[in-house]
A and B are shown apart, each in its own frame.
Chain A
Amino acid sequence: MLNLKKIIKIVAKSIKVKEKNISLTSKIGDFEDWDSLGHLKILSEIDKITKGKASLIGNLAQQNSVSNIYKVLKKNKLSK
């Protein structure tokens, strides 16, 4: 199961930045590679780890920050 630390790791890897630069408040637009394509990379990576369950969450793409992604995954019991 995912947790906040893992989510931050996924975000950092997907948008090619160091983990230490990502926090709970980091959001789309904060980094050069966190654009709509970067956002999709993050979601696809989360989807892989959750074995396709994340792609079924209808409002996941609208979650534009680490904090919101984490909250929605937690609400859907895909993160603790």
Chain B
Amino acid sequence: MNIFKENLTSKILQQKSSSIINKYKKEIDILEIGCGDGNITSFVINNRKIDHNFYLSDISISAVNAAKKKIKYKKCKFKTGKWLDPWKDKKFDIIISDVSSINDFIAIKSPWYKGVVCNSGADGLRNIEKIILNIHINLKKNGKFILPMISLSDEKKLIKLLKKNFSNVSFTKKIIWPIPSFFHKDKAKYLKLKRDTKINFQEKFGIFLAYTYSATCYGTK
């Protein structure tokens, strides 16, 4: 199994997570699920103002091993497992999700998920939906949940789901990016997915454009 590595979405999550975590004046517990090679937590650790406890998990053992190799911080625990499953008896102040959340046909065709598990359904939300519905078990009362919003999934459905499950939801600015050329091959299929509101993209300058931003949620209902 391959490992999901740093991309634009990870960078957005790195910046957002770091800015939220650095507002805490005392030590907190931070979980990253779908950690891949650990680049988000690594960025947060390298830019931290005070020490915190970090917890990372991924469905792929290779990813967990890569994260262990990348992060040499002493207050770090690693586990292998799906979604929140490895952390049944633990509550966190911050949970960051970088679990696969794009349409799985696009994931299979794209260069990003070569050998990496996606399995997120036509709306891209199969994994994140399960996480949102169970997050109250692992999130402390005032805990925050940080996740990516990607236009290659059903963005409207995800926003509705977040607002149904959290009393406070805020978003960062959208960053538009060019979708690699693999997208041109199955254009008709993607246009149908767009019509069915499973994904969203634009065609401009002869290329396809998607966008990514992050959501921060707290106050589980």
Contact = CB atoms under 8 A, between A and B. Distances in A.
Interface of A: 36-37, 39-40, 43-44, 47, 54-55, 57-62
Interface residues of B, number: 10
Contacts of B209: 40
Interface string B10-33: 000000000000000000000000
B207 interface: yes
A59 B204 CA distance: 9
Contact of B206 (A39, A40, A57): A57
Contacts of A39: 178
11 contacts: A37-B178, A39-B178, A40-B176, A40-B177, A43-B205, A54-B205, A57-B206, A60-B206, A61-B205, A61-B206, A62-B206
Contacts of A54: 205
A54 B151 CA distance: 23
B8 interface: yes
Contacts of A59: 206
A27 to B, nearest CB: 16
A55 B177 contact: no
A11 B170 CA distance: 32
Contact of A37 (B177, B204, B206): B177
Interface string B180-221: 000000000000000000000000111101000000000000
Contacts of B206: 57-62
A58 B205 CA distance: 5
Contacts of B207: 61
B204 A55 contact: yes
A58 B206 CA distance: 4
Contacts of B177: 36-37, 40
Contacts of A60: 205-206
